[in-house]
Amino acid sequence: MFNIKKYKSKDDYYLYKLISEDKSYYLADKDNYKKNIQNLIDNLEGILFDSVVIIFGIDSGEYIKALKSKLCERNRVIIIEPNKEIYDIAKEKIVDDNIHLIHYDEQVIKAILRNLINHKNFNRLHVHCFGNYKDVYIEEYEKFIGILDNIYYTSSSSIAVVSSFKKIFFGNMISNLSIINHTSSLNSYIDKFKNTPAIIVSAGPSLDRNIQTMLKYKNCLDKFFIIAGNRTMGSLIENGIKPNLVVSVDPAQVTYDMMKKYLDSDVPLAFYEYSNKDLVKEYRGEKIYISELFSRTIEDLKDLSRTYIGGSVAHTCIDIAKIIGCNKIILVGQDCALTENKHHSYNSTFDIDKTPNELEVVLDKDIYGDEIRTTLTLTFFKTKIEEYINLVKEEDESKYIEFINASYGADIEGAPHKELEEIITSSEFNKNIENLIPNKSINIDYKEIINSILEHINNFIVKSDECINICNEFLNNDVNGSLMDMDEDDINLQNFLYLLHVVDEFEYSTKSYYLGGYFTEFLFDVRKNYFEMPAQDYSKLTSDFKYQSETFLHYFQDLNSLLKVIKELLLTNAPNVD
180: Cα separation from own chain's centroid: 25
- Does residue 458 share a domain with residue 408? no
Where do the H-state alpha helices sit in 312-419? 313-323, 376-395
Q: For position 575, what pLDDT does the model report?
A: 58
- Statement to judge: residues 152 and 204 lie in one domain: no
Instruction: Give pTM, 2 decimals.
Output: 0.85
Above 80 in pLDDT, residue 280? Answer: yes
Band (pLDDT 50/70/90 cuts) for residue 351 is low
Q: Nearest Cα to 505, choosing from 555, 468, 459, 544?
A: 459
Q: What is the pLDDT of residue 14?
A: 95
**Mean pLDDT within 518-530:** 93
Question: What sign has the CA pseudo-torsion 119, 186, 193, 410?
Answer: negative
If asked whether residues 420 and 454 sit together in one domain, one would say: no
pLDDT at 341: 84
Phi–psi pair at 252, nearest 5 degrees = -75, 160
| pLDDT above 90: percentage of residues in the chain | 73
Is residue 511 classed as helix, strand or coil in its secondary structure? helix
**Position 566 in a domain:** yes
Instruction: Read off the pLDDT of each residue in 419-448 and give the average, rounded to a whole number.
Output: 90
Question: How far is Cα 541 from Cα 547, in angstroms, rounded to an integer?
Answer: 7
Do 415 and 464 share a domain, yes or no? Answer: no
Q: What is the pLDDT of residues 352-398, one digit of tens each?
A: 655 555 567 888 998 999 999 998 888 889 989 998 998 898 876 66
Residue 316 and residue 386 in one domain: yes
Q: Is residue 165 part of a domain?
A: no
User: Residue 17 pairs with which residues in a beta bridge?
Assistant: 5, 26
440 belongs to a structural domain: no
Q: 470: alpha, beta or left, given left = phi > 0 and alpha = psi -120 to 50?
A: alpha
List the helix and strand counts (H, then E) for the chain: 19, 17
Q: How far apart are CA 474 and CA 466, in angstroms?
A: 13
* Predicted pLDDT of residue 380: 86
Q: d(Cα 196, Cα 172) in Å, to the nearest integer?
A: 34
**Is the C-alpha dihedral spanning 265, 266, 271, 273 positive or negative?**
positive
Per the model's pLDDT, the better-predicted residue between 506 and 577 turns out to be 506
- 502-508 contact pairs (CB < 8 A, 24+): 502/460, 502/463, 502/464, 502/466, 502/467, 502/556, 503/552, 503/555, 505/463, 506/460, 506/463, 506/559
Tell me whether strands 371-375 and 52-56 are parallel, antiparallel or unpaired: unpaired
pLDDT-derived band at 292 (thresholds 50, 70, 90) equals very high
Answer yes or no: do 319 and 382 share one domain: yes
Classify residue 434 by its DSSP letter: P
Residue 291 has pLDDT above 60, yes or no: yes
Predicted local confidence at residue 432, as pLDDT = 86
Q: What residue ranges in 367-452 does DSSP mark as E strands? A: 371-375, 402-405
Q: Is residue 9 part of a domain?
A: yes
**Do 213 and 89 belong together in one domain?**
no
Strand bridging mode 3-8 / 361-365:
unpaired
pLDDT at residue 578, rounded to an integer: 53
pLDDT in tens, 69-92: 999 999 999 999 999 999 999 988
What region does 325 belong to: left with phi over 0, alpha with psi -120 to 50, or beta?
left
Q: 234 and 118 in one domain?
A: no
At residue 249, what are phi and psi to the nearest 5 degrees? -120, -5
Domain's final residue, options 139, 156, 173: 156
| Cα–Cα dist 358/376, whole Å | 12
178 is a domain residue: no
- The mean pLDDT of 169-192, rounded to a whole number, is 94
What mean pLDDT comes out for the span 173-181? 94
Most confident segment among 304-308, 345-349, 513-517: 513-517
* Residue 560 structural domain: 446-573
Last residue of a domain, one of 424, 458, 478: 424
For residue 518, CA distances in Å to 2, 115, 170 come to 53, 22, 8
User: What is the distance between the alpha carbons of residues 547 and 465, in angstroms, rounded to a whole number?
Assistant: 19
Same structural domain, 133 and 68: yes
Q: Rounded mean pLDDT of the chain?
A: 91
SS3 content of the chain, % helix, strand, coil (to 5): 50, 15, 35
Number of compact structural domains in the chain: 3
Do 345 and 479 fall within a single domain?
A: no
| Domain identity same for 515 and 392 | no
Q: Once rounded to an integer, what is the mean pLDDT over residues 198-208?
A: 94
Specify the CATH number for the domain of residue 135: 3.90.190
| Overall size of the chain counted in residues | 578
pLDDT in tens, 112-149: 998 899 888 889 999 999 999 999 999 999 999 989 98
> What is the phi-psi region of residue 45: left when phi exceeds 0, alpha when psi lies from -120 to 50, beta otherwise?
beta
Q: What is the mean pLDDT of residues 16-43?
A: 94
Residue 493 lies in a domain: yes
Same-domain status, 241 and 383: yes
Candidates 123, 122, 8; CA nearest to 62 is 8
Whether 310 is covered by a domain: the verdict is: yes
Q: What is the per-residue DSSP string for 211-255? A: HHHHHHTGGGGGGSEEEEETTTHHHHHTTT---SEEEE---SHHH
Q: Is residue 144 part of a domain?
A: yes
Per residue in 435-471, pLDDT tens?
Answer: 899 999 899 999 999 999 999 999 999 999 999 999 9
How much is the pLDDT for 480?
75
